[in-house]
Structure 1
């Protein structure tokens, strides 16, 4: 049969390699030889162990997961477990194959006649599957089971899958099928339903770091913990990818030490060497870059980018590092424990906690969206360096844009572009003029949209007795209390309002826990407890009621103008509507 058998060189033996043999990369040298060597897959090992002990072995297994987590290695381990006969030749299937019996040794060396490994990527046709169908009728030569390992099984053609279905559903008792794939969604459901499926997990960064540290010890290599952490992050859950990077890092360390201490010196993998090798940005630099962005320091930020560019750091890697930091800050804001359980240094954890306490959810989400756009622009730009500069400047200058809520307030109070651009021209007398001037100044001064505000400053601002009720609603809205802000805007009629006190009546029925939720929200917002209660007496209309009343007054005023009265006389069926309503009903003839 021409089933694409793996040659002995493709498998690894647990025996020590002879010095005369060529060097083997770490990914091959440390391929798991027992289930105890398979890291991060305890659930699958437990299931297989119980199945073997209870003699409930399926006839077909399918291993799926991302590249490099051990799918093919697991298939080979299962082949060993099912065919192991123990050192004395009397053993049965076991989750701990001995590794010394003739079957274990032959499978490890890739020369067992009853364990056939087929690469579906190069044998995709129905003729290749037909050879399997013909061969399964014959009993195994020496082993307990005849085992077919089909790697990248999703590459088989539709006809090949169909040809395999009947044999896969009712194979002879002496045959087992082991499939491995990275794209399980491409495997027909008719095949999946005939297999016992195991989803191999991504390996966590912490577990990979420990694994790499153990291998460094075996290889007589010194490595910084931060260096191994960077390699584990670069592996993205793949053991094979991480070992390939570690192999490169060891070679890099060897060359660095050869000039000073000779070729026999013990290699040392430093965090700086790994960072330079991978083209990563130093986390200290990332912290500084984020700080310059938040403070609006464009010149300093561009100088730092120039330094990183000269060091060979890729712009896309810098954007990705900033995204990682913003994501970590967001998680730390939700749960402070997240800042202490992600393997970061104490300095990084302190930075995360500080930023999480100072920045709002809205600010973090705006940062994330702008960085996400920057990532796409830098990845597809003809000159990534220039795209990086422009994207970062956009982040910096976003801090000087007016707050949308303040702009809306100015416009709602009758201000326009002139009022926003020139606060000095605002009226300077009277209560209405005072409120207008406050709102205009708030807009005209560049509020650092991304600049963190200390908790004490925020509390003092929120505790000001003269703080307008509308500002309080907007502050709750910005902090994510949308439902509370909506109720206060639409239904709350104020009887008395002052510093730390709200006495109100309701225009309509609201949820029963409204008061309790409002007190908690105001406590978190201002740092002090508020008195919130219903009261009797004269109450002002709600903000929504005032807006509707003003709109009705404006409409009545327009109806009294000579031009509109003449139009209504000429077209008796016409009615006056708002612009937005007119767009929804284009058949109406008169627009405000």
Structure 2
């Protein structure tokens, strides 16, 4: 049909309407609901009321219309309606008289519901069943819910109710108990991207896979939202869907920018990090979205480090591998938590840019590789502040604390005993000791006997010496998965330049050729190119650096807990107030909380 200007008068439909599923087979991502309804229709086990729940755009109303076609198709009650009979075509066009759709958001009152229920008593005009679809049913008022209870429990044989809602918690339990409930799941991004690709192929619209992935993630599980965003992307891109245009349209952050941030963090380069932040500000990219996308990228890095088989292949897989080699698992977890906290605190910052910069600097400051150097620098700068008087105080505290065997004297007794003239130094000791004791539940009062890093500072072995593997690993400059491989290796034999390392069965996934090559290269750089390194998989290794560090940490923790529990002052507090010691709050001296 054409108009006076010779152009088609048929309006172009939005993709979400044009590609709306017409049968169960077309519905994506809801196989669990489709199978249950198909079996019920095939076996004739029909319920009088269905409740469909789920987030927006996952197919609740679409599923309700398909079910109405299944019940009223001229070929009979079936799970596969013909789609060509008058009933099916009228339902698709929204003109079927025995299908009544009610929007509860705009018809919330009891009078609206009574009108619907009064009409339900009459037999269907054309179809086999009179079907009522009530969308957003949770918006009905309490009197409206009460008025429908009796009809919902025992409706006429020719009436079927299909309720849909995004918030089932607001529906009274008396209504929930009368319905057969199905929860529609959000669509995974991979499925959404695949469907968008199929739709655009049928529409003959050129697209990039990276653009489809961006649209799928932005849809947040909603197929309708994804199709609507695709319509917008086609218009924005002038008939094509390209990644750069979609990024500009959505205001998302390009993955290259995020990788540049991680590269600067891995290099401990504060200048480059802040320069990247300024470039993001110049491009007008939202910092909240940047931290969100950075958290998503760190999540994928954590999966790559711990469970490589679960990571989907992507166009930037090479840069992902590079970042995984530069950052260890602990650092990735730390950056992720800082990104979450920084995004949460962003509204409270003086401005978004300064809040974003402080979040990045916090990552840099608390990174494991920079913590010791930063602390040493602070100690060097503050060394002149430690005066001779302060140095005299510490031995006095230790001496007084070691000789004290009884709890502090009650206040009444202290007042009765005449005090001698106070000397300058002793007056300081009780005050500092009281302050130290006030923090007893969090920090052990004595230094643990177990050294923090035994044998790790041993003499550097030559090529012909017997290796101390713990010391060797401590001196190698490794990071990421190569460092993890070294930490989980045990030295089995060493004969001259022939070295055999064993990895336990539980860590054999670390024997990737790339990680092996990095470890072997680091050893050859340190001890000579003639080294011949052999890896083997065997029983669980017991003397790996990781296990030794774990045992040392557990021993220090146990001694710290024992020191707290045996402290007379702590025991007095426990006995006096009937309290308990929370061992999880105790940490050995020298460890950060």
TM-score range, shorter chain: 0.5 to 0.7
> CA offset at residue 288 of structure 1?
1.5
Superposed CA deviations along residues 39-91 of structure 1, whole A, max 9, x for unmatched, are 11122112221111111111111111111011011111111111110xxxxx2
**1:310 is matched with which residue?**
282
Superposed CA deviations along residues 84-143 of structure 1, whole A, max 9, x for unmatched, are 10xxxxx20122222222211221222221111100011111111111221121111111
**2:235 is matched with which residue?**
251
**2:62 is matched with which residue?**
73
**1:561 is matched with which residue?**
none
Distance 1:92 1:549 in 2: 75
Which region of structure 1 is more displaced relative to structure 2, 117-126 or 330-339?
330-339
> CA offset at residue 461 of structure 1?
12
Q: Secondary structure at the match of 2:237?
A: helix
**1:338 is matched with which residue?**
310
Change (3 A) 1:434 1:309: closer
Change (3 A) 1:48 1:303: same
- Determine whether 1:220 maps to 2:240: no
Query: Equivalent residues in 2 for 1:149-188 (5 A)?
Result: 149-188=133-172
> CA offset at residue 178 of structure 1?
0.6
Distance 1:226 1:201 in 2: 24
**2:255 is matched with which residue?**
283
- Determine whether 1:231 maps to 2:226: no
Superposed CA deviations along residues 515-572 of structure 1, whole A, max 9, x for unmatched, are xx9954644838xxx9xxxxxxxxxxx96799599979xx9xxxxxxxxxxxxxxxxx
Query: Equivalent residues in 2 for 1:86-101 (5 A)?
Result: 91-101=75-85
Q: Secondary structure at the match of 1:296?
A: coil
Change (3 A) 1:456 1:235: closer
Distance 2:143 2:451 in 1: 80
**1:375 is matched with which residue?**
343
Normalising by the residue count of structure 1, what TM-score does the alignment of the two structures yield? 0.66
Distance 2:558 2:294 in 1: 45
Q: How many residues align?
A: 439
> CA offset at residue 212 of structure 1?
0.8
Q: Secondary structure at the match of 2:163?
A: strand
> CA offset at residue 434 of structure 1?
13
User: Is the 2:490–2:541 contact (alpha carbons within 8 Å) kept by the matching residues of 1?
Assistant: no
- Determine whether 1:293 maps to 2:293: no
Distance 2:573 2:281 in 1: 51
- Determine whether 1:30 maps to 2:51: no
User: Is the 1:358–1:455 contact (alpha carbons within 8 Å) kept by the matching residues of 2?
Assistant: no
Counterpart pick for 2:117 among 133, 138, 141: 133
> CA offset at residue 353 of structure 1?
4.6
Distance 1:367 1:128 in 2: 54
Q: Secondary structure at the match of 1:117?
A: strand
Change (3 A) 1:128 1:550: closer
> CA offset at residue 155 of structure 1?
0.7
User: Is the 2:102–2:134 contact (alpha carbons within 8 Å) kept by the matching residues of 1?
Assistant: yes
Change (3 A) 1:521 1:303: farther
Superposed CA deviations along residues 420-460 of structure 1, whole A, max 9, x for unmatched, are 9669x99xxxxx99989999xxxxxxx9xxx9457369838
User: Is the 2:57–2:224 contact (alpha carbons within 8 Å) kept by the matching residues of 1?
Assistant: yes
- Determine whether 1:385 maps to 2:385: no
Superposed CA deviations along residues 118-175 of structure 1, whole A, max 9, x for unmatched, are 0001111111111122112111111100010000011111221121111111111100
- Determine whether 1:51 maps to 2:40: yes
Distance 1:524 1:311 in 2: 46
Stretches of structure 2 that go unaligned for 5 or more consecutive residues are 1-6, 392-449, 458-473, 492-537, 549-553, 579-593
Superposed CA deviations along residues 374-411 of structure 1, whole A, max 9, x for unmatched, are 1112255462222111211111122378769x99xx9x
Superposed CA deviations along residues 452-474 of structure 1, whole A, max 9, x for unmatched, are 4573698389989xxxxxxxxxx
Distance 1:453 1:332 in 2: 11
Cα root mean square deviation, aligned? 4.1
Distance 2:558 2:60 in 1: 67
Which region of structure 1 is more displaced relative to structure 2, 113-122 or 275-284?
275-284
Q: Secondary structure at the match of 2:157?
A: coil
Counterpart pick for 1:63 among 45, 52, 60: 52
User: Is the 2:108–2:144 contact (alpha carbons within 8 Å) kept by the matching residues of 1?
Assistant: yes
Distance 1:80 1:149 in 2: 13
- Determine whether 1:274 maps to 2:251: no
Query: Equivalent residues in 2 for 1:196-211 (5 A)?
Result: 196-211=180-195
Distance 2:29 2:480 in 1: 42
Q: Secondary structure at the match of 2:194?
A: helix
Distance 2:220 2:561 in 1: 59
User: Is the 2:328–2:480 contact (alpha carbons within 8 Å) kept by the matching residues of 1?
Assistant: no
Superposed CA deviations along residues 192-237 of structure 1, whole A, max 9, x for unmatched, are 2211111111112121112111221222210001111110111111
Change (3 A) 1:433 1:271: closer
Change (3 A) 1:53 1:585: same
**1:264 is matched with which residue?**
none
User: Is the 1:333–1:353 contact (alpha carbons within 8 Å) kept by the matching residues of 2?
Assistant: no
Superposed CA deviations along residues 457-498 of structure 1, whole A, max 9, x for unmatched, are 98389989xxxxxxxxxxxxxxxxxxxxxxxxxxxxxxxxxx
- Determine whether 1:525 maps to 2:495: no
Distance 2:39 2:10 in 1: 39
Distance 1:457 1:170 in 2: 65
Change (3 A) 1:251 1:579: farther
Distance 1:157 1:233 in 2: 35
Query: Equivalent residues in 2 for 1:516-555 (5 A)?
Result: 519-520=540-541, 522-523=543-544, 525=546
Counterpart pick for 1:459 among 474, 477, 486: 486
**1:142 is matched with which residue?**
126
User: Is the 1:230–1:274 contact (alpha carbons within 8 Å) kept by the matching residues of 2?
Assistant: yes
